Amino acid sequence: MTRVTDGRAVTGGETEDGRPGSGDQEVGAGIPVAGESSRSLVKVTVNLTPRAVDALELACARTRDTKTDTINRALVVYNLVLELMERGGGSLTLQNSDGGTERVHLL
């Protein structure tokens, strides 16, 4: 199982304090995590489509995160998805809670 916690993507289980367990593999290890990067913050300006604006506002409302935090997390998750797709031959297979599976392709 892969999950994103505090901007860190981890596959497998975790210890009681939330760190990756002995059998875990951290995904996207090259991605700087808040407080762990020696690089400074980078300010960017983006032009969002109406669909992206709606998605950002919905995500912020659901999580109560700031737009900056939501965009930062989205970029980490996007990189994780790309990495997992490379491993899976260009697609992701998701397992639903009912045991069913879905194959996802990003175009």
Cβ atoms within 10 Å of 28's Cβ, excluding its own:
20
- How many domains is the chain partitioned into structurally? 2
Is 36 inside any structural domain?
Answer: no
| Residues 57 and 95 placed together within one structural domain of the fold | yes
Domain that holds residue 92: 46-107
Task: Evaluate if pTM is beyond 0.75.
Answer: no
**Cβ-based burial of 36 (10 A; exposed 0-12, middle 13-18, buried ≥19):** exposed
- In this predicted model, which residue has the larger pLDDT, 38 or 53? 53
Q: Which residue has the tokens 């879905």?
A: 102
Q: What local confidence, expressed as pLDDT, does residue 52 receive?
A: 97
Is 41 inside any structural domain?
Answer: no
pLDDT at 95 over 80: yes
C-alpha R_g of the chain? 16
